[in-house]
Amino acid sequence: MTSAARGAGRFLAKPSFQTLLDAIAAEGYELVGPTIAEGAIVYDRIRRVQDLPAGWTDVQEAGQYRLKRRDDEMLFSYAVGPHSWKRFLYPASLTVYRAEQRDGTWHYTQTETPTPRYAFIGVRACELAAIAVQDRTLRDGLYADPHYVARREAALFVAVQCAEPAATCFCTSMNTGPACRGGYDLALTELPDGFVIEIGSDRGQQLVDSIDTEPLDAQRLDQARSISDDAAKKIKRRLDTEQLRERLLDNLEDSYWSDVAQRCLSCANCTLVCPTCFCVSLADVPDLRGQTVERHRTWDSCFNPDFSYMNGGLVRDDTRSRYRQWLTHKLATWHDQFGVSGCVGCGRCIAWCPVGIDLTQAAAAIGHQPASKDTQPSGD
């Protein structure tokens, strides 16, 4: 299904876009959207249309991310930056519980913080797919992360159909984009003179009803459709997912793991920019007197050596084993654990790798080089 296929689409003229933002804010949502900071398009609090990156796009390649001026004033004509919505739904730092000592006895309380009600503006199809992956990881299992669930349920999703995918994008291989196919309250397609609006939920409908929009004419509908179709054609990077899980797990001793480890800095950038990576660590933070202790949860990474610490040693004590853990988890064992790939094809790990290691290249290489057969598992 291409964008704007819904019958009940509407059109919002460019000069009226602020009315949509205002209507969302009036519902009590905290607006978060793309904005320019430190040479990148990042997600932060926004209030006005002027906060958005009008006329900017991003140029990406393995190990490269550059902002580039466009010759128009389009607001959402970029791909994705280093941030994902993970930083709002699954914060990098969180207090889980508090222990207080009274009369020599420790007492435990859950730290109650009000759940923020975010409205995410400019969510891409690959990012909706990433949130669907996190739903499986953090919400739908036997044990759920209550903080994620609360934030996720409270959030409003305003998607914007991707028009300018980057060279690092491969969502078409992962079947996650570029067109949004659900999981949003509203999906916008940006045209030079305004937005085609698709409505994905009752909440979305109410918002659209509360502002002045125009009926959608056939010409604009066609325009919107061709934007998504063109975006799909622009995506050239490929990841061959056929038998990928089996090929990776059957080649855990492939010599390519050592090759890539020669280049990998084990810096953890890829896991931090990844919209689905969920690994965290927990640590105690006591007050000065040691009478109150907070248990803090922070993002961690399988690339950090201490991540696998056990009994005075490290299970994965070299870059080769850590890169292998990351790639096989993302592309292979994620299927066993959560029934989907852990990769949505957003390309962030490729662009933000300081040495330009390309996940699609690595995945293609494993099992296609001469491997030391004698160390292969005899399993299936």
Binding site for other proteins (CB under 8 A): 96-97, 99, 101, 104-108, 110, 137-138, 141-143, 145-146, 249, 252-253, 278-284, 286, 290, 293, 295, 300, 302, 307-312, 315-318, 320-321, 324-325, 328-329, 332-333, 336-337, 377-380
Q: Give me the least distance between CB of 251 and other proteins, in Å please.
A: 11
> 251: exposed, middle or buried (C-beta count within 10 Å: 0-12, 13-18, 19+)?
buried
Residue closer to other proteins, measured from CB, 49 or 261: 261
Q: Give me the least distance between CB of 108 and other proteins, in Å please.
A: 5
Helix (H, G, I), strand (E, B) or coil at 375: helix
The crossing angle, in degrees rounded to 10, of helices 125-134 and 146-154 is 140
Tokens 């996720």 belong to residue = 152
**What Å distances lie between residue 378 and 59, 125, 222, 239, CA to CA?**
45, 40, 55, 27
Instruction: Answer yes or no: are the C-beta atoms of 197 and 9 closer than 8 Å.
Output: yes
Q: Give me the least distance between CB of 301 and other proteins, in Å please.
A: 9
d(CA 204, CA 217): 20
Residue closer to other proteins, measured from CB, 2 or 308: 308
Tokens 């291409």 belong to residue = 2
d(CA 189, CA 198): 8
Q: Give me the least distance between CB of 375 and other proteins, in Å please.
A: 9
Q: Give me the least distance between CB of 346 and other proteins, in Å please.
A: 20
Residue closer to other proteins, measured from CB, 219 or 311: 311
d(CA 235, CA 354): 23
Residue closer to other proteins, measured from CB, 124 or 320: 320
> 30: exposed, middle or buried (C-beta count within 10 Å: 0-12, 13-18, 19+)?
middle
Name the residue among 229, 264, 164 with its Cα closest to residue 5.
229
Q: Give me the least distance between CB of 377 and other proteins, in Å please.
A: 5
Residue closer to other proteins, measured from CB, 44 or 318: 318
Q: Give me the least distance between CB of 260 and other proteins, in Å please.
A: 15
Residue closer to other proteins, measured from CB, 31 or 248: 248
Residue closer to other proteins, measured from CB, 124 or 316: 316
* CA torsion, ordered 170, 175, 180, 182, to nearest 10 deg: -150
